[in-house]
Structure 1
Amino acid sequence: MSQKILVIYSKPSQCHIQRFINIVKYDRYTNRKGERQVEDKNSVIVFKNVSFQYQSDASFTLKDVSFNIPKGQWTSIVGHNGSGKSTIAKLMIGIEKVKSGEIFYNNQAITDDNFEKLRKDIGIVFQNPDNQFVGSIVKYDVAFGLENHAVPHDEMHRRVSEALEQVDMLERADYEPNALSGGQKQRVAIASVLALNPSVIILDEATSMLDPDARQNLLDLVRKVKSEHNITIISITHDLSEAMEADHVIVMNKGTVYKEGTATEIFDHAEELTTIGLDLPFPIKINQMLGHQTSFLTYEGLVDQL
């Protein structure tokens, strides 16, 4: 029997509601062909001919979208506002359901019957760090998901401490949210996800509200977490500078996959990205101005060439 949950906030926050839904049982996801499997041992998530519309009389936000998310790699899904990239994240975590097509997780089609089990492997960090805090202090916030999974107290304490240590926030375990910077709040959000031992972490515009230094520090942390835990990272962003950090890039445009490949392959044809309204990273712009044949994806590479 489906559970019905009533959540009342004096000032509703979409991120709070989404985080709560992501942790407790969620019953909206359906897939008519749930018993099917896809043979792809190198991919953790596969979209196969997925289409989606928010209302039955509205235009499709996603149109026949197919792609693979490689296991253990960093995939960046980029696109302008309205390109469909954030809808992809909602479908991955079950906030929305596909209208047609299929989504596979570890070769298994996602269904009502298996969704709750599969969803525990996926964590998400949202855009606004202020809206993500649900605990009165840092350690309670990290413990929130563990409490909802009925993790024993001793194990909960250990996992909270370990997660905070991994993101360099253990010394601030007793801090209140208003005592933290935006970058520190996002570190706590990542710790909250790490405590649940996910196989996949989705960053949904997680760096967009941070200053440049905090943004780079967070990306460095994500790279460290990916390396140490062999976690698959999926970053949803409009910032092509963030995409330069990725192993695999998917470019969305008007609800379809426009381009897909490595960062080098994508930026070797950088002029095509500007035609769909994307702003090129500074090193790429300088590279074009100087007439270089090779795209430099980092400031260091550009400096070495100069």
Structure 2
Amino acid sequence: MSVVSLLGVNILNNPAKFTDNYVFEITFECLEQLEKDLEWKLTYVGSATSDQYDQELDSLLVGPIPVGVNKFIFEADAPKTTRIPDADILGVTVVLLTCSYDGREFVRVGYYVNNEYESDELNADPPAKPIVEKIRRNVLADKPRVTRFAIKWDSEASAPPEFPPEQPEADLQADDEEYGAEELEDDAEEEEGAAAENAGESSAAAATADGDAEMAGVEENGEPAEEDEMSEEGSVDLENESEDELEEEVEGEVVEGGDDAMDVDEKPTAESKSHEVMAH
């Protein structure tokens, strides 16, 4: 639980000129007496590409802090344009309001800031060198981004829990009570079962191999199958057929079919084409 809670922030001069100071009205609540002061800072982000252009506009120490609701005014200088790239002066950027206790940041509020010229003519055609005196800033105060951090305040009880927590009793456990011992035993039993199963499969495979060998021996020593030999009576001697008989058969097909039969064979029908397309 945070000892200091931010209740609200009001920007008193918004919109304003780019060269005007930032003026914030800050309200917060303190739940117990603090030994040290609160440090508030305002940071301007000069460029989105590098943090080397960030500027700390101002910082303020507030204290001693009475218990209850407190309100004060925080005024910070405008950013120095000499430390901002010309290309990043116009457009959208960010300002960060932070608060720390004893060097430990516990709250951060971010605001978007839009910088543009006061006239539409300059916005439509901005000059190469920005005219800072004619630039106006507008802080989007209604859409802040608030981030809170748990820190240690004055007492150890307020310190956030460490992660992972210390477990000194874990070093005092006996070896047989070591975490994961049951899991190791289960793994050993599974490995033994797997080894026994593999041994059974090996013996079964060996027995099957012996049986196959015996069957192979029976086939080799027994009578050959009739299907393995072709009888001379069933064989066809193509060489004994005369060329005259083959020619007569071919001529008979051509005469019976005629030219129409040849045309049908050479030009497949639409149905046959469709079957070929589906097959591909």
Same fold per superposition (TM over 0.5): no
- Larger CA Rg, structure 1 vs 2: 2
TM-score by length of 2: 0.20
TM-score by length of 1: 0.18
In terms of fraction of residues, the more strand-rich structure is 2
Larger RCO: 1 or 2 (CA < 8 Å, sep 6+): 1
